[in-house]
Structure 1
Amino acid sequence: MADDPYVIEPGSYKTEGFHMYEVGQAFAKAAKELSTGLEALEKGDTPPWGDDEFGENFGVPYEGLRKGFDEAMPSLAERIAGIGVAFSQIGIRNEKQEQKEHDTYQQITGQYDGQVGAKVSSIKSV
């Protein structure tokens, strides 16, 4: 609805940001393990897919893809973890801003307590 306020829950940003960071770390570990496993399979004089015509037709594109994988996956993992860090930072900044606004509100309303017939400090900030 258009009248619904936009609500940011800093705790959710911080928690989910940490989870996203963990996903990035797990992805980096899995990519490294896959790369290490493939390296182990590729050792020897004959590639695991063979050196016949079919093996050559498979091996040439595989080597290009493999090199691209080794270059791209660590970067992707780092970016996923970075998104998580950014989400956490959003939550922290939002909490600080909310506290600053609350403190300012308390300071302003504290100046007028008892001057309008009721304690203004009993009004809750939304």
Structure 2
Amino acid sequence: ELIGLVTGPLTNFALALRLEPSLPRLLRRLVIMGGAFDYRGNTTPVSEWNISVDPEAAAEVFSVWGAAWGLEDPAHLPIILGLNLTENIAMTPSLLSRLATAAGGPSSPMSVLDDRGTRSSSSNPLIR
């Protein structure tokens, strides 16, 4: 099962949907980093860069997503992580250790004193 993760403008994802209109049904989930919801923007006072740089692509993704199910209700909707979330979460060694334990692949404890770029030793490839 594939999970789509978009951390930039939705341009390429919109193009992918044009090539494969059933993509929303093929993905288990879609997570998008974008938008500013009841939060100040980072491009203008009210807009976030990933959406504002290509608003047409964002509109296309959101409209095509629902259309992929025809008359049925969508089985799942994209998860949109706005600036209010992405600017307030930091991947700390402590959080990484908690995620590794939850994923069933604990790693040796990491520290903020580790050299920059030090990778986790977790047996779980996603955590590593």
TM-score (norm 1): 0.23
Bigger fraction of residues in helix:
1
Bigger fraction of residues in strand:
2
TM-score (norm 2): 0.23
